[in-house]
Amino acid sequence: MNKVILPKKKAITIFLVFALGYYISNLLRAITATISPNLISEFNLSAGDLGLLGGGYFLGFASVQIPLGYLLDNKGPKKIVSYFLLIAIAGIISFSLSQNFTSLLISRILIGVGVGACLMGPLTAYRVWFQDETQQRANSWMLMTGAIGMLSSSLPVQFFLPIIGWRSIFGILAILTFLSIMLIVIFIPNWNKENIQNTHDEKGSLKEVWQNKFFKSLVPMGFFNYGGLFAIQTLWAGPWMVKVSGYTPEESANGLFIIYLSLLFSFLTWGYFVPKFSKNVSDAIRLLKFGAPINLVVLAFIIYLGPKAGAFHWALFAVSSVFLSLSQPAVGMAFSLSNAGKALTSFNLLLFIGAFALQWIIGVIIDLTMNLGFSEISGFRFAMVFFLLTSLFSYLFFLTKNYKN
């Protein structure tokens, strides 16, 4: 790869432009948790419907991860992120006009597809246009921008809901997304693929990635632990606070704000300390062994508390889950340059399919439990027990495969 280092002022502009797109994508990812009471009331959604709807975003997002690396390398972030965001606008407008569940679901999947390049696109650009140390800092700041997007999906959205309604909010998001496209077209440089070493050559293959022992050891954790974390923080924490803890929708939005704010500060702290303690794959494995089960202890405590568990406990769960973020850079470090991109997109695929599956399955378990005559609170607790057990077995699988490290 031949870097084309851009001047500092230009680099800052590029970061800010891409950051807006990633901010929007995370706001759209998490907004279902805040507007779920409105959707349940208006469309008479079951818990399974709500889980499938929330997961539709992740299904769409996951579907483009594998071809995305090839498209970005050959066409460049400017074109690919812009074209994909046009799909997102179509999904956002369709969602705002939906009159039934099927339309909502298809629109949600389109949104997921459309924002699928909002992180990988910028990371591809930073790899070529930024100095190595600047690139690492920009990557961390992008994650913080995503946390701010989730933060914006809570209290700010809840504030405007009774004033303009959720449909108008999505209309505003469509306009904001169009603005993001315009800024990308104006400020992001054109792509010269001759500066990019072809990472799809004969020295690297997806087969090698999926046969790698370390990668295989992370597959269950990526799917259940990490994917389940996404499922909780972008959807089920909200309904839990309303249906189990007895919060009003406004109190639930306050609770989500606390959760996302806690996550933002944990990312800030994490970004400072991790480079000092996790410099290679072995360091990451040791930290994962120690830290990954902490959130399982917190989750077990939440299940035990039931109605007494609220925003503080889910914020604690989110913060204690930060160790899981070590898995992504560890995957990148475990492979050569020819396979690092494929490994990361493959791992992203796992995470988002897991998030889709867990969001849906949790809802199905809640519905099934209630159909068997149990209370809705029991349904939520049974669903979280399923999440806890699958995450525990995934962690034990990782532990047995890496016991020598």
**Sequential DSSP letters for 301-339:** HHHHHGGG--HHHHHHHHHHGGGGGGHHHHHHHTS-HHH
Separation between Cα atoms, residue 185 and residue 222, nearest integer Å: 34
Same domain, 179 and 289: no
Determine the pLDDT at residue 72.
86
Determine the pLDDT at residue 142.
86
User: What residue numbers bound the domain in which 133 lies?
Assistant: 1-198
Same domain, 153 and 258: no
Same domain, 261 and 326: yes
Given a contact cutoff of 8 angstroms between Cβ atoms, the answer to whether 239 and 231 are in contact is no
Same domain, 278 and 330: yes
Same domain, 302 and 396: yes
Given a contact cutoff of 8 angstroms between Cβ atoms, the answer to whether 33 and 238 are in contact is yes
Separation between Cα atoms, residue 217 and residue 212, nearest integer Å: 9
Determine the pLDDT at residue 201.
46
Could you give the C-alpha distances from 390 to 54, 221, 294, 302, 328, in angstroms and in order? Answer: 20, 9, 15, 16, 20
Determine the pLDDT at residue 83.
97
Determine the pLDDT at residue 136.
66
Given a contact cutoff of 8 angstroms between Cβ atoms, the answer to whether 222 and 350 are in contact is yes
Same domain, 48 and 189: yes
Same domain, 134 and 187: yes
Could you give the C-alpha distances from 4 to 21, 140, 194, 197, 214, in angstroms and in order? Answer: 23, 21, 11, 13, 33
DSSP states along 66-109: HHHHHHHHHH-HHHHHHHHHHHHHHHHHHHHH--SHHHHHHHHH
- Structure token digits, residue 306: 């039931």
Same domain, 83 and 145: yes
Domain final residue pick, 198, 226, 246: 198
For the chain, give the number of residues.
405
Same domain, 1 and 128: yes
Domain final residue pick, 165, 198, 231: 198
Q: Which residues contact 140 (CB under 8 A, 6 or more apart)?
A: 267, 271
Separation between Cα atoms, residue 154 and residue 233, nearest integer Å: 11
Same domain, 213 and 296: yes
Residue 292 CA from chain centroid, whole number: 18
Which residue matches tokens 């089960």? Answer: 293
Task: Give 10-residue mean pLDDT values along the chain (405 residues).
Answer: 77 95 97 95 96 96 88 89 98 98 98 95 85 74 89 95 97 98 96 61 72 94 95 95 96 95 84 70 88 96 98 96 85 74 83 95 97 97 98 96 81
Domain final residue pick, 198, 215, 241: 198
Same domain, 130 and 263: no
Q: How many domains does the chain have?
A: 2
CATH of the domain at 272: 1.20.1250.20
Separation between Cα atoms, residue 357 and residue 351, nearest integer Å: 10
Same domain, 154 and 245: no
DSSP states along 159-220: HHHHHHHHHHHHHHHHHHHHHHHHHHHHHSPPP-GGGS--TTSTT--HHHHHH-HHHHHHHH
Determine the pLDDT at residue 199.
44
Determine the pLDDT at residue 141.
84
